[in-house]
Each structure stands twice: as structure tokens, then as C-alpha cells.
Amino acid sequence: MQNYSLADTYIKPLDPAEHELALETKNLKVFYGDHEAIHGASLQFERYKITALIGASGSGKSTFLRSLNRMNDLVDKARVTGEILYRGLDINSDKIDVYEMRRHIGMVFQRPNPFAKSIYDNITFAPRRFGEKNKKVLDEMVETSLKQAALWDQVKDDLNQSGLALSGGQQQRLCIARAIAMKPDILLLDEPASALDPISTSQVEDTLLALKDHYTIIIVTHNMQQAARISDYTSFFYSGTAIEFDETRKIFTRPQIQATEDYVSGHFG
Ligand SMILES: Nc1ncnc2c1ncn2[C@@H]1O[C@H](COP(=O)(O)OP(=O)(O)OP(=O)(O)O)[C@@H](O)[C@H]1O
């Protein structure tokens, strides 16, 4: 594989006067033991937009994404430095209540992972744990989040069926519904469609496009067409560095950096 300079980067700045920011990282580094997997990423994420993180396997996309709601806290030997600014707070600080923060910054994983419970219980599990007991409120929450995840019409007649009885695409939309039941501001998705067939993938993409009205979405994807189809901004990661960040149409038509150009045009390596 050709070696590209990690110093050669282009990160388009988003002027906060014109672009409301939902989240921003400043010099974010992630270490696994002595290995520095992310080399000081400073990226901005605009509110109510979809930002795609692309790059070859091992370039650090998932590591970066996981750090945005401190999932790396759960990874042995992982250490994160730098700032992750959300509503003026650095969520990487020791003073942050991580469980409370994750209500605002939710995550959906690569493989659909519904609980072995009913559809209703999948969605109400976390809200009940956070103290919501009112049946009417919970019912509304189930209906709203299933509607937002474009699953309501398919499951409304049997909310007691097991989440595991749904198709893969439906399970992933149930996981999205479960994540948005907590009304987060930001949804992090790590290759949410990679385990799905093309029809389910397209349904999940439609769901994400519809969710953009209410949520800021940051998505890791290996699928270049998917990034081009659904995202407003794209960041290209190479060897632990956010090499380029710009509007998606620019990344795919006129990238500033050779490594990005080679990656998006399939001439990488
Ligand atoms: N739990 C871990 N422990 C140690 N090293 C890790 C761990 N997770 C990831 N890494 C290392 O960090 C680097 C970035 O990996 P990461 O999984 O973030 O890349 P990625 O771009 O998401 O890859 P993929 O597209 O294959 O998921 C790699 O060198 C990887 O080996």
C-alpha cells in the first residue's frame, strides 16, 4: 500500500455562527496500551446533519466513534485524551456521569442486538430503568420511537412478539427505535447496515434520512455509496488520522488530499 503523509490533511472548519455544532472533538487521541490508535482528531459535527466516517479497515473509525460516548471506557487498556465537547461540557472529563451522558449520545451497533424480550419491552427497558413507570407515557414512547424508526406499521398489531422474531433489517430498526426512545440528541451508528441485505439496508438508510430532522447522526460505514447517499459531511480516516473532513459531495467529487481521492475512487493500495 502506498504510504501517505499523515501531515497532509484538510479539515474544513465549520463556523459556529453558520453551523450549529452538536459535538466537537479537540485533539482527541486514543491509546490501546502503548499503541496510539487515533492521533489527535479535531472534528466538528453539525446539528441535524449526517456525518459519515469512512476509511480502510483498521484506520480507526470505530475507535473514534466509540470514544464519542465513552464506549472505550469499557475496553481494556484503552485510554482517551483530548476534549469531546457537548453543550459546552467535556464529556471526557472525570466529572461526567457517563450513564446520563449516554442518554444524550446513543449508540447503535453493527449487528442488530435486540434483547430476548418483547418489542415493547425492548423499547421501554431503559426508560423504566431510569424511573419511568407511567404506562401511558411508555405506550406513547413505544409508538413514537417505532414510527420514527419506520417499524410501527409492521409491528403495531403484536408488540408482545419477541424482538428476536423480526427480520434482520427490522431488528436493526428496533435497535434504532430503542436508542431513540431515550430521546438522545446524537446517534452514533457503527456500520448499522453491514449485516443486512440490500432491501433492509435501503430501509435503514431511509430511516436515518428521516431521523435527521430530529437527531444528529454520526455513522461509520465501509459502503462508499451509502456514505454518498445519506451523509452531509464525510471524514476520511487513514492510519489513525482524520485526513480529510468536508461536505460529502466535495469528498466524492473534488477531495483535497490524494489519499482521500485514491480511497473514494477505489485506487487505494
Ligand atoms: N480493543 C482493542 N485493543 C487493542 N487494539 C485495538 C482494539 N480495537 C482496535 N484496536 C486497534 O486500533 C486500530 C484501529 O482499529 P478500529 O477497529 O478502530 O479501526 P476501523 O477503521 O474501525 O476498522 P474496521 O473497519 O475493520 O472496523 C487498529 O490498529 C486496531 O488493531
Mutate to test the pocket of ligand 1, among 34, 39, 59 (most ligand atoms within 8 A of CB): 59
Residue 73 lies in a domain: yes
Instruction: Report the pLDDT value the prediction gives residue 62, as an integer from 0 to 100.
Output: 96
Distance CA 93, CA 85 (A): 10
**Is residue 162 in some structural domain?**
no
Within 10 A of 101 (CB to CB), how many other CB atoms are there?
Answer: 17
Average pLDDT over residues 253-262: 96
Query: Ligand 1 centroid to 207 CA: how many Å?
Result: 28
What pLDDT, in 10s, does the model give residues 65-87?
999 999 999 999 999 999 999 99
- On whether residue 178 sits in a domain, the answer given is no
Quick one: cell of 250? 466535495
Cα–Cα distance between 98 and 117 in angstroms, integer? 25
pLDDT tens digits along 177-209? 999 998 999 999 999 998 888 988 898 899 999
Considering the domain boundaries, does residue 254 fall inside one?
Answer: yes
Residue identified by cell 489527535 is 40
pLDDT value at residue 254: 96
Q: What is the pLDDT of residue 119?
A: 98
Q: How many domains does the chain have?
A: 1
Please give the number of the atom of ligand 1 that sits closest to the Cα of 240.
Answer: 14
pLDDT at 1: 52
Position 120 in a domain: no
Fill in the amino acid letter for 158.
Answer: D
Mutation to probe ligand 1, out of 39, 59, 63, 194 (largest number of atoms < 8 A from CB) = 63
Mean pLDDT of 102-129: 94
Has residue 123 been placed in a domain?
Answer: no
Domain-embedded: residue 136:
no
Judge if ipTM > 0.95: yes
Task: Find the mean pLDDT for residues 12-26.
Answer: 96
State yes or no: pLDDT of 123 exceeds 90: yes
Q: What range defines the domain where residue 104 resides?
A: 10-113+183-264
Residue nearest to atom 12 of ligand 1 (CA): 37
> Which CATH number is 48's domain given?
3.40.50.300
pLDDT at position 98: 95
pLDDT of 268 higher than 80: no
168-181 and 135-148 helices cross at what angle (nearest 10)? 130
Nearest to 215 by CA among 192, 186, 189: 186
- Of 28, 29, 32, best ligand 1 pocket probe by most atoms within 8 Å of the beta carbon: 32
In the predicted structure, residue 161 carries a pLDDT above the cut 90 = yes
The residue ranking higher by pLDDT, 204 or 247, is: 247
Residue 90 CA to ligand 1 center (angstroms) comes to: 24
Name the phi and psi angles at 11, rounded to 5: -115, 105
Task: Give me ligand 1 centre to Cα 198, in Å.
Answer: 26
Dist. CA 54–CA 64, nearest whole Å: 11
The pTM of this model reads: 0.95
- CA 16–ligand 1 middle distance (angstroms): 31
Q: What is the pLDDT of residues 35-61, one digit of tens each?
A: 999 999 999 999 999 999 999 999 999
What is the band of 269 on the pLDDT scale with cuts at 50, 70, 90? low
Dist. CA 220–CA 211, nearest whole Å: 16
Strand partners, 21: 46
Is residue 28 in a domain?
yes
Ligand 1 centroid from CA 55, angstroms = 12
Give the pLDDT score at 173.
Answer: 93
Mean pLDDT of 98-105: 94
Q: How many helices (H) and strands (E) does the chain have?
A: 10, 12
Pocket of ligand 1 (CB under 6 A): 32, 37, 55, 57-63, 75
Q: How many CB atoms lie within 10 A of CB 54?
A: 28
- The C-alpha cell at 248 is 460529502
**Which atom of ligand 1 is least distant from the CA of 66?**
18
